[in-house]
Structure 1
Amino acid sequence: MDSLKALVQFFTQEGKSYRLIEDKDEMNQLAGTIHHEGICMVSKTRPMMTLHELFEQETRRANANSTPPKTHSTITSPIISKEPNRNPSVLDRPIIVVLDNMEMDNVGPIIRSCASFGVRTVISLNQSLLSNGESIISPSRYLTSRGAMEYVDIVETPSITKLGDILMEFKVYGWEIISIIGRERNAPLSIFSDDSIKSLGTKPLIVLLGSDGKGISSTLLRLTDKDIHVPSYVINGGLNASQSISIILSECWRLHGRK
């Protein structure tokens, strides 16, 4: 109870109700899971932006782009250490990650990587999920993201046409679109090549990421400026989507620190 003292004081001061539950089975029933760590809250659904609201937000950020400090270390950078959850120096250079019908098991780790490397916005294209009235934002995926969903704006769309239209608008404004794929498509660039470095370290960037099973749809692939892969021995299929995006965003972080 001592560990929740500050939270209870906050609820008391704000006039919010709370209840102490001693019975473990009752707590499991209320939470709908055994993975609640002894606390459960009822909260409002987080509002979600539209694609056009996302476009306006990200183009404003791109126009206000400024050069970050060379040091991105959360240990040595005085800017980041003041606000460790936001990594503000990286956020000046916008990056959007687009998930094309991503497997749900990958979503939480991908969002966690995005938040870790300063990506504010993720777009999820998933026709089957949304047609069933579901969302990639769920308690289980909050858990696997380790709370990172609180720091990333997630926009969901079932329409590949609308997504393609908004990506074309970004291109008109000078954004570069890259796809993260395997070696099999038209000799994609290595993440460590000179051409990849120019994309990953400079312009406002949109990163397309497909599912492990089906990859990126041909409709979206036609919009890309570069296809990039992460070199590996390709043992048992190589890296999965969440591992690949972590490496890509880490390289973006490292390269942008040079500018």
Structure 2
Amino acid sequence: MMYKKTRPESKNMIIGIRPVIEAIEAGKSIDKLFIQRGIKNPQIAELMKCVTEHKIFINRVPQEKLHRLTKKVHQGVVCFISPVEYVSLENLVPQLFESGKIPLILILDRVTDVRNFGAITRSAECFGVDAVVIPQTESAQVNEDAVKSSAGAIFNVSICKEGNLLDAVNHLKDCGYSIVSCTEKSNEGFGNVDFCSPTALILGSEGEGISSQLLKLSDKKVAIPITGKTASLNVSVAAGIALFEVNRFRTLNNC
């Protein structure tokens, strides 16, 4: 059987059932865990027990994908360790309130491009974002490319990887956050929103935008005005503009 060209292996890659179990039990932040579909191996049961106990999301993939990730014997299991330590949103929210500042959280819905993610975290850190929230699925891999694209800023902003963005947004609403979606489906500008309160700003992927469920949970929807012929902005550019507007409002209003 012929496979597509194997990509250079990441230093954050761990292969094999036992090494992956050891990494999980050692408390390593797992970015992605791939397990071969239909695999039959007695040790898989032990891995699945470990994964369940630590609430780690599994990506079931065909064997061919694992062969593209590594040329080594992988036993049907490959995982990637995140270069950053993920923070629990539930634990972070009270800490932000205790700090005395007005929190600003950025939520990324299905932003899957690694370089875009890195550039966004760079802007987020520059404009005082307290945390970037991403979903466990349909999100960019937090790897060396993300670190490089962020110019290291990713180490200076909390990254929360949540199992369900709807649950995360509902939790923030219950905690008094104003949920603002940046979407081309709105006719309102940033000047119509009061950002002098705890705020969670949502940005969606370039192709899909923000999901309809998240839009329904939003307290406000704002758009970046575009006058050219191009239909939309790159999501990392949009993030920079949106965060600048929030930061400008807070600076001008001393909040």
Q: TM-score normalised by the shorter chain: which range applies? A: 0.5 to 0.7
C-alpha contact 1:108 1:141 (8 A) present in aligned 2: yes
Between the aligned partners of 2:181 and 2:87, the Cα distance in structure 1 is 24
Counterpart selection for 1:123 from 110, 129, 133: 133
Between the aligned partners of 1:31 and 1:50, the Cα distance in structure 2 is 25
- Superposed structure 1 runs of 4+ greater than 4 Å apart: 28-32
Between the aligned partners of 2:221 and 2:200, the Cα distance in structure 1 is 12
Residue 147 of structure 2 corresponds to residue 142 of structure 1? yes
Query: Which sits farther off after the overlay, 49-58 or 211-220?
Result: 49-58
Cα distance, 1:128 vs structure 2: 4.1
Query: What CA deviation, in whole Å up to 9, does each residue of 1:126-152 have, x standing for no partner?
Result: 5145xxxxx632001110111110111
Counterpart selection for 2:158 from 153, 156, 163: 153
SS in 1 for 2:160: strand
Query: Which sits farther off after the overlay, 99-108 or 46-55?
Result: 46-55
Cα distance, 1:240 vs structure 2: 1.8
Residue 118 of structure 2 corresponds to residue 108 of structure 1? yes
Tell me the TM-score normalized by structure 1.
Answer: 0.61
- Identity percentage over the alignment? 28
Query: What CA deviation, in whole Å up to 9, does each residue of 1:172-225 have, x standing for no partner?
Result: 33210000011xx2x431123xx22x2x3x111100010000001111111101
Choose between structure 1 and 2: higher helix proportion.
1
C-alpha contact 1:103 1:212 (8 A) present in aligned 2: no
Between the aligned partners of 2:83 and 2:136, the Cα distance in structure 1 is 20
Between the aligned partners of 2:206 and 2:167, the Cα distance in structure 1 is 25
Counterpart selection for 1:50 from 88, 93, 99: 88
Between the aligned partners of 1:31 and 1:240, the Cα distance in structure 2 is 29
Structure 2 unaligned regions, length at least 5: 1-7, 13-80
Tell me the TM-score normalized by structure 2.
Answer: 0.62
What RMSD over aligned residues (CA atoms) do the two structures have, in Å? 2.6
Structure 1 unaligned regions, length at least 5: 1-27, 33-42, 65-91, 130-134
Between the aligned partners of 1:212 and 1:109, the Cα distance in structure 2 is 14
SS in 1 for 2:248: helix
